[in-house]
Every structure is written in structure tokens, then in C-alpha cells.
Amino acid sequence: MAIPDDKKDRIARHMAVLQGNYYHYTGRYLFDPRLEFSQAAIWLEQVPFALVSHGVEPDPIFNYGNETALQLFGMTWNEFTRLPSRLSAEFADQAERRRLLDCVLREGYIEDYTGVRIAADGCRFLIRQATVWNLRDETGQFYGQAALIPRWEVLQGVSHEP
């Protein structure tokens, strides 16, 4: 499992925010609502889709990536959770990424997003059918944004279809 033991309680709380906001915007559950949040964190490590989120820093930093996301971006947990999320896109694609996130900020969420991202080794991949949504904590304060990436295609021709 990618989540360090000393971070599991924080991640379980994070699962509550992800689930509640995903359900709020889409009417669907991210994971089985009968699961305890600590169980959901474990379950989400084993799914064939990538799930990521970033916080509210001036230059938002990724604060979560499941095992599929870590593999896709070619990073460890510690590397990924120190990465400004804007650096997941090449410089030429950052303006498009910013427009996407600004739209999500206004609208609450979008579905069926497609965009190019880059892994740590420089490999470019096209994410497909992604859902991106705003996160608010239990007090209603803006908490960041998250993305569920069910499909992607490595631009050299290999694709992932779960």
C-alpha cells in the first residue's frame, strides 16, 4: 500500500471529504457508503482508476494519489504529495489545465474531461473521461479539488481500458 502508516488517519478523514463532495456533485458514490473511511482508503488503493486531489495552497500541492495514480505518474507517495499539481501538465498545457480548474471552481464539477499530463519520467499520457470536482470540508470551507481518471492512453500508443 502506498499510504504511509503515520498518514492513515488523515487519509481516512480525507476519504470522507472525497466521498461527500463526489456524491454532492454527481449523485454517485466514489466507494461503497457502507465502508468505514479507513476501509475505503484501502479499497481505493486497489481500484483500476486513478484518484488524485490537491489542496488550497497558493500553488496547490497534491495531497492524495491512490496506487494507480502513483504508478501512472511514476512517483512515490512522498514525491507525489510534494508536487505542485500544475506540474502534472507540461508548461505548454498549463494554461488549458488552469482553465479547466477555474471552470470547476465556478461550476462545482465537470465530467468527461480529456487532457494531456506528464509522468515523472517525461512520458506523456492523455487522460480520458475524467471527473473533476471541488472539495469542501465539513464546515463548508474550500478544501481543494479532486479528479477521478478512469481511462488514459500513453501517447506512444499503449492504452488502459479497465
Q: What pLDDT was estimated at residue 96?
A: 80
Mean pLDDT of 114-140: 94
Tell me the angle at which helices 8-26 and 37-44 cross, rounded to the nearest 10 degrees. 90
Q: What pLDDT was estimated at residue 3?
A: 58
Number of domains in the chain: 1
Q: Which domain holds residue 24?
A: 5-160
The 3-state DSSP class for residue 70 equals helix
Q: Which pTM value belongs to this model?
A: 0.88
Q: Is the pLDDT of residue 20 over 90?
A: yes
Q: What pLDDT was estimated at residue 152?
A: 96
pLDDT, the chain, mean: 89
The 3-state DSSP class for residue 2 equals coil
Q: What pLDDT was estimated at residue 158?
A: 46
CATH number of the domain to which 77 belongs: 3.30.450.20
Q: How far apart are CA 131 and CA 22, in angstroms?
A: 9
Q: Is the pLDDT of residue 23 over 90?
A: yes
